Amino acid sequence: MLDARLFLLQRATAIVMAPLVLIHLAVIIFAVRGGFDAAEILSRTRGSWVWGGFYSLFVIAASVHAAIGLRTIGFETFGGSRRTLDVVTIAVAAVLALLGLRAVFAVVAS
Amino acid sequence: MDSGPDGAETNAHEPAGQMIAVSLWRGQGSSGGLVRYDVPARDNQTILDIVTHIQRNIDSTLSYRFACRVGMCGSCAMTVNGVPRWTCRTHSGQFTKNGRLTVEPLRNMPIIKDLVADMAPFFDKWQKAEGRFQGKDSRTDDVEPVRPDSPERQTADAGIECINCAICYAACDVVAWNPDYLGPAALNRAWTLMNDIRDTAGGERLRAVSAGDGCHNCHSHQSCMTFCPNDLNPTAAIAGLKRMAVRAVLKGEL
């Protein structure tokens, strides 16, 4: 159900996400305490390849990490064949990545 | 202890009238349920003594398993008040609550009858995890020296005292959720062999234990370590296998 490669992929994406989560939280606190409104935030993110790259990496890592975690929870709760698990895992990762990257596109490139 | 008229042992110090209400799981296969028996409470008796009393004095059709009675063989393992225990090493006073006691077969294995669990799946997983020593020397070769103080030998020694009682397997939630998971005992055995310098099947074994139902499914709940009557730590053994397998993947060897 969870072989060495999937295990490694989930740990690797966790390592990638750890600093990104801290930076993300710091940015939220900075923006809220600074009293930024939506227009001020968008003026900083639009056209910014740094923020676009940062959040794209975050979204991809989170999508892979969450899909593998949900695979484990789903199997241990409901069971299922390996093929079903593979399909669901890939589908969950794809949907999460699509929704996340769409949001990144909205604040960076729209 | 004295011998009573029916040959059964009686205890001269038995408090008059005190009884324990013992609920035993009775049935065959998956069909059955708890049946209550009233057993005399004695100052010194184990759960195995209680089960034996019921079988010899109340219902001779009761099936259960035991051998050594002194905590060496592990064959009397059962679930006592929801906890996996060697019944021969569990004093009734430890677990009797308000004069009540529940004894069931070990979980995570099919039930053959009453308190006897079918351990075939448990031992099959030892084979699946390549839990067999495979040496390179024949009986005509010299004995290979193994330094007792070498890190590999000390790591292997930490898990070598497993007697296959399946307490850890019954305690493992991951086995309950995924019946194909190899389980703590088989993985602990594999880890001791991976640290045996005489063994030659490391690559094959690492592939077996890091496949889909292998060591990477462990959530490190540590129930195996908590309930192991021999104070072994299969969780640490599984963590060692995880590290070893990840290194092998990164090196392209797995």
pLDDT digits (tens, 9 = 90+) for B182-235: 999 999 999 999 999 999 999 999 999 999 999 999 999 999 999 999 999 999
User: What pLDDT, on a 0 to 100 scale, did the predictor assign at position B9?
Assistant: 41
Q: Is the pLDDT of residue B74 over 90?
A: yes
Find the CATH number of the domain harbouring A65: 1.20.1300.10
Q: Which two tokens stand for residue B16?
A: 């008059």
- Judged by a CB distance cut-off of 8 A, whether residue B214 touches chain A is yes
Cβ distance of B178 and A1 shorter than 8 Å: yes
Local confidence band at B30 (pLDDT 50, 70, 90 cut-offs): confident
Q: Note the pLDDT tens digit of each residue in A3-12.
A: 999 999 999 9
Instruction: Report the residue from B177, B211, B213 with minimal CB separation from A76.
Output: B177
Quote the CA–CA distance of B232 and B225 in Å, as a whole number: 6
Most A-contacting residue of B217, B238, B243 (CB-CB within 10 A), to test interface: B217
Domain span at A15: 4-108
- Judged by a CB distance cut-off of 8 A, whether residue A7 touches chain B is yes
A72 to chain B: nearest residue by CA? Answer: B217
Greatest distance between any 2 Cα atoms in chain B: 72
- Judged by a CB distance cut-off of 8 A, whether residue B210 touches chain A is yes
Query: What residues in B contact A82, CB-CB < 8 Å?
Result: 212
Q: How far off is chain B from A67, nearest CA to CA, in Å?
A: 15
The interface predicted TM-score (ipTM) is 0.87
Taking residues B103-124, report their average pLDDT. Answer: 97
Please give the tally of structural domains in chain A: 1
Q: Angle CA(A62)–CA(A65)–CA(A69) in degrees, nearest 5?
A: 130
The pTM score is 0.89
Q: Is the pLDDT of residue B133 over 80?
A: yes
Residues B28/B77, Cβ–Cβ less than 8 Å: no
Report the candidate in B186, B19, B178, B228 with the shortest Cα–Cα distance to residue A74: B178
Cβ-based neighbours of A98, under 8 Å, separated by 6 or more:
none
Local confidence band at B92 (pLDDT 50, 70, 90 cut-offs): very high
Quote the CA–CA distance of A74 and A1 in Å, as a whole number: 11
Q: How far off is chain A from B88, nearest CA to CA, in Å?
A: 33
Cβ-based neighbours of B55, under 8 Å, separated by 6 or more:
B62, B64
Q: Within a 10 A sphere around the Cβ of A47, how many other Cβ atoms?
A: 10
Look-up: residue for tokens 């009858």?
A: B113
Q: How far off is chain A from B213, nearest CA to CA, in Å?
A: 6
Q: How far off is chain A from B221, nearest CA to CA, in Å?
A: 15
User: What pLDDT, on a 0 to 100 scale, did the predictor assign at position B16?
Assistant: 55
Query: What residues in B contact A7, CB-CB < 8 Å?
Result: 216, 242, 245-246
| Domains within chain B, CATH numbers bracketed | 2-117 (3.10.20.30), 120-250 (1.10.1060.10)
